[in-house]
Chain A
Amino acid sequence: MAELKIERKFDANRKRHYLNDSLTVLHCHHYATLFTQLALDAKELVDGTQILKESVEDVFFNVLSDYYKKNGITDTNERLNIAAQMFSAIGMGKMDIVSGDDNGGEVDMPIAYVDEGWVKKWGKHKGPVNFIGAGYVCGMFAAAFDKPVRTYKATETQSRVMGADKSHLKVTA
């Protein structure tokens, strides 16, 4: 199974960080969880959680699709595996792919960054908060199976933030 190749670069002129030629920025769990909280808080004004999921989905769909193209990865299992490795490499936690085909699948997260950050800041929550993780999974499946974004929906059926030992997402097309 292919290993993810990661090249880190800091442009000393523009003071910008890159991962594999993709512009990145270092932020912290406070910002990720506060973005998530504001998405929830904004519900009287706008569907913030949906915007959050879709923003993540679109961005990572492009990042992963570019990676597969540049590295000639066409096998769908390999693509899913690479995406799981990238999930960890960028600090999103740990992902185990339980199953996956072009109809969807299931994904476990024994460690989920947003959940860990939320619990660290505020303790447990009554419902799932990992909209960022869910968006990543949707983008990951769309990129793996060469489908457009919004093809997949990821539903969290158990969550670390609610006290489960791992988060579990069901992915459906």
Chain B
Amino acid sequence: MAIDREKVIDQMSKVSAEANEDGLIPAFNVLVNQWPAKFWNEFSKRMVEAVDDDIKDAVEELLINAAHECGYHTGYGIITSKEWEAIVAPMVEKTEDVLHGAYAVFTAWGWANAEIVELVPGEKMVVRAYDYYEADIGEDYPGKKAPRVSAYMIRGVCGAFMDLAYGGKYDSEGKTGLYTFRCKQTKGIECGDEYGEFVTVKSEAYE
């Protein structure tokens, strides 16, 4: 593998997130924000807790889909950004390197300390996250263990990154490519596991 993961994380984590005179932070072809991780977790947790058990899955799907669509567009923004061009692009030799590089940026943004542990090009990806802010949701529950896996953002972004790598040409309207893949979370630190594990497969194979 050509990607120097630690170098990418080190350099990408230093990319300036300071606001301009409009109070906006343009970077990586998107408008970045730097908000408390607690906010993202609180909204997700409260939305799921607010509904009866029989519709929790539906609410969770909404949360995952928001991240999936975000990951698709932001992921594209990242891999076509001047920051990527300067730091990661020189290391890329093939499509799979783009994915590994994307997960290094994912880590640099503070989303999760995550890496790809298994990759079948075009078919399946397994990611492990050894620390992630969404796991902090577990802290709010008895025994510090959440009743459900809760890393909706990581699930969505895993699906999105596979869409970008193997789902065809990027579509800015999200009508094609997006949702070619879907991700299931099979382990969660928030539930007491050693790491979070995320298995992404083609949508037709997803259960």
Q: Which A residues are within 8 Å of any B CB, using their own CB?
A: 8, 10, 12, 14-17, 19, 22-32, 34-35, 37-39, 41-42, 45-48, 51-52, 54-56, 58-60, 63, 87-95, 111, 113, 116-117, 120
CB-defined A-B contacts under 8 Å, sample of 21: A10-B110, A24-B36, A25-B40, A26-B34, A26-B110, A27-B35, A28-B28, A28-B33, A30-B70, A34-B70, A35-B43, A39-B43, A42-B62, A45-B51, A54-B46, A55-B39, A56-B39, A60-B39, A89-B23, A93-B23, A95-B23
Closest chain-A Cβ to B71's Cβ sits at a distance in Å of 8
Say whether A38 contacts B31, CB under 8 Å: no
Contact of B195 with A by CB under 8 A: no
Chain A contacts for B113, CB-based, 8 A: 14-15
Provide the bound-state CA to CA distance between A12 and B51, in Å. 38
- Nearest chain A residue, comparing its CB with the CB of B74: A28
Contact of B190 with A by CB under 8 A: no
Chain B contacts for A58, CB-based, 8 A: 42
Closest chain-A Cβ to B68's Cβ sits at a distance in Å of 9
Say whether A46 contacts B59, CB under 8 Å: yes
Given A26-B109, A29-B30, A113-B31, 20 more contacts at CB 8 Å? A12-B13, A14-B131, A15-B112, A16-B133, A23-B37, A23-B133, A25-B40, A30-B73, A32-B33, A34-B66, A35-B43, A45-B58, A46-B51, A51-B50, A59-B36, A92-B23, A93-B23, A111-B22, A113-B33, A117-B31
Say whether B37 contacts A12, CB under 8 Å: no
Closest chain-B Cβ to A67's Cβ sits at a distance in Å of 12
Provide the bound-state CA to CA distance between A36 and B60, in Å. 15
Closest chain-B Cβ to A20's Cβ sits at a distance in Å of 10
Say whether B34 contacts A91, CB under 8 Å: yes
Question: Which listed residue (A10, A16, A23, A93) contacts B24, Cβ 8 A?
Answer: A93
Provide the bound-state CA to CA distance between A31 and B37, in Å. 13
Say whether B59 contacts A45, CB under 8 Å: yes
Chain B contacts for A48, CB-based, 8 A: 47
Say whether B46 contacts A31, CB under 8 Å: no
Provide the bound-state CA to CA distance between A42 and B44, in Å. 12
Answer whether A91 and B110 are a contact pair too, CB < 8 Å, given A26-B17, A28-B74, A59-B38.
Answer: no
Contact of B150 with A by CB under 8 A: no
Provide the bound-state CA to CA distance between A42 and B56, in Å. 12
Say whether B13 contacts A17, CB under 8 Å: yes
B 136-177 binary contact with A (CB < 8 Å = 1; else 0): 100000000000000001000000000000000000000000
Chain B contacts for A52, CB-based, 8 A: 43
Question: Which listed residue (B31, B43, B46) contacts A28, Cβ 8 A?
Answer: B31
Provide the bound-state CA to CA distance between A92 and B111, in Å. 19
Contact of B94 with A by CB under 8 A: no
B 95-136 binary contact with A (CB < 8 Å = 1; else 0): 000000000000111111100000000000000000101001
Say whether A29 contacts B31, CB under 8 Å: yes
Contact of B2 with A by CB under 8 A: no
Say whether A8 contacts B59, CB under 8 Å: no
Answer whether A90 and B59 are a contact pair too, CB < 8 Å, given A27-B40, A113-B23.
Answer: no
Say whether B36 contacts A26, CB under 8 Å: no
B 1-41 binary contact with A (CB < 8 Å = 1; else 0): 00000000110011001110011110010111111111110
- Nearest chain A residue, comparing its CB with the CB of B153: A31
Say whether B51 contacts A25, CB under 8 Å: no
Provide the bound-state CA to CA distance between A63 and B109, in Å. 21
